[in-house]
A = this chain, B = another copy of it.
Amino acid sequence: MASLRTATAEASPNIALIKYWGDVDHALRLPANGSISMTLGGLSTVTRVTFDPTIDRDSLLLGGEPAGPAALERVARHLDVLRAHAGLDGHARVESTNNFPSGAGVASSASAFAALTLAALTAAGIAESSESLSRLARRGSGSACRSIMGGFAEWRAGTGDADSFATQLAPGEHWALVDLVAVISAAPKAIGSTEGHRLAATSPLQAARVADAPRRLSQCREAILRRDFDALAEVVELDSLMMHAVMMTSTPPLLYWMPTTVEILQAVASWRRGGLGVCATIDAGPNVHCLCEPGAAPAVEGALASVPGVERVLACPPGGPARVLHPAS
């Protein structure tokens, strides 16, 4: 056992406030535009990586069950990237567990590849800066680069592998926003994000969305730094709808929304007209993330829970950065 290199890391998913959708380089996951997110506290992936010289292939357990071939292949390819970076040979056993349903609009691949990256490098005995971790995590899943950071993160698109990574815009303590995730369906989505990113360029609207991104990034960044909820709400909702506009006008079209998605969008608009500070954003799935300040959270959470079709509501404050879990801790 002493010859095994092993480490366990934890990372949280994030909700994009300015969305990542579409790549300029699919293999390197270099995004068409920069993005901004809030890491979600209370939700996490815990991943243990064990490099074992006695095994001849990588293995993957997800929630205690052997993963399917597609998931294993994706993890093995990311381990190849990390092994090349670390100058390490040998295969690994990967055991990963989420405390939230995967594939339904809460980006499980973000927390999964952030935790995998940190655990594997730690097991390999390599300590990296958070920027370097972010850059490497990006290779596994674009949005994973943001889940390395706690609080509010910005992923600068960059011009190549070297300068495409996230940095922290503000720590979670800066602004106690709450993300109330209205879970409509825990069923895995039909088309995952990796495939969706490849379709983005088929939409006649994607170029305009990307061209306008610097303006939205600037408005979002300023709103966070100033804790200006109204300004944040406006740009967050616009940006989310611009991404879904691209999705639904792709070939083939991606309509991730369900009837309850629209029910909530209409309800949030009416709550805000009534003076409640809340805004809605949707990732690549049917669930609606409702952001609000702590004072509005009880009212919004109660109202969301009473919308027919909402299975449950998750309440997430800003979360911490990806971290190594030590056996004794």
- Whether the Cβ atoms of B242 and A249 lie closer than 8 Å is yes
- Which residues of B are found within 8 Å of A237, using beta-carbon distances? 253
Which of these, B211, B234, B248, B263, contacts A245 with CB under 8 Å?
B248
Known: A205-B205, A209-B205. A269 touches B255 (CB 8 A): yes
**Closest approach, in angstroms, between the C-beta of A234 and any C-beta of chain B?**
8
- Whether the Cβ atoms of A249 and B245 lie closer than 8 Å is yes
| A55 contacts partner chain B, Cβ-Cβ < 8 Å | no
Chain A interface category by residue count: 20 to 34
User: How far, in angstroms, from A259 to B310 measured CA to CA in the complex?
Assistant: 13
| A102 contacts partner chain B, Cβ-Cβ < 8 Å | no
Residues facing B in A253-270 (CB within 8 A) are 253, 255, 257-263, 265-266, 269
User: How far, in angstroms, from A245 to B247 measured CA to CA in the complex?
Assistant: 10
- Whether the Cβ atoms of B259 and A263 lie closer than 8 Å is yes
| A241 contacts partner chain B, Cβ-Cβ < 8 Å | yes
- Which residues of B are found within 8 Å of A242, using beta-carbon distances? 204-205, 245, 249
Which of these, B245, B246, B253, B262, contacts A262 with CB under 8 Å?
B262
Residues facing B in A90-130 (CB within 8 A) are none
Pick from A209, A245, A251, A260 the residue with the most CB of B within 10 Å.
A245
User: How far, in angstroms, from A241 to B203 measured CA to CA in the complex?
Assistant: 11
| A207 contacts partner chain B, Cβ-Cβ < 8 Å | yes
| A212 contacts partner chain B, Cβ-Cβ < 8 Å | yes
- Which residues of B are found within 8 Å of A262, using beta-carbon distances? 255, 257-259, 261-262
**Closest approach, in angstroms, between the C-beta of A112 and any C-beta of chain B?**
28
- Which residues of B are found within 8 Å of A253, using beta-carbon distances? 237-238, 241, 269
| A208 contacts partner chain B, Cβ-Cβ < 8 Å | yes
| Closest B residue, CB atoms, query A259 | B259
Pick from A204, A212, A234 the residue with the most CB of B within 10 Å.
A204
| Closest B residue, CB atoms, query A204 | B212
- Which residues of B are found within 8 Å of A263, using beta-carbon distances? 259
- Which residues of B are found within 8 Å of A258, using beta-carbon distances? 262, 266
User: How far, in angstroms, from A261 to B261 measured CA to CA in the complex?
Assistant: 11
User: How far, in angstroms, from A266 to B248 measured CA to CA in the complex?
Assistant: 12
- Which residues of B are found within 8 Å of A209, using beta-carbon distances? 204-205
- Which residues of B are found within 8 Å of A266, using beta-carbon distances? 255, 258
**Closest approach, in angstroms, between the C-beta of A281 and any C-beta of chain B?**
13
Residues facing B in A53-95 (CB within 8 A) are none
User: How far, in angstroms, from A23 to B280 measured CA to CA in the complex?
Assistant: 30
Closest 4 A-B residue pairs measured CB to CB?
A245-B245, A259-B259, A208-B208, A204-B212
Q: Which residues of A contact B (CB under 8 A)?
A: 204-205, 207-209, 211-212, 234, 237-238, 241-242, 244-246, 248-249, 251, 253, 255, 257-263, 265-266, 269
Can you give 5 A-B contacts (C-beta < 8 A)?
A205-B205, A237-B253, A241-B249, A241-B253, A253-B269
Besides A204-B242, A238-B251, A245-B245, 5 more A-B contacts (Cβ < 8 Å) are A204-B209, A237-B253, A241-B249, A258-B266, A262-B262
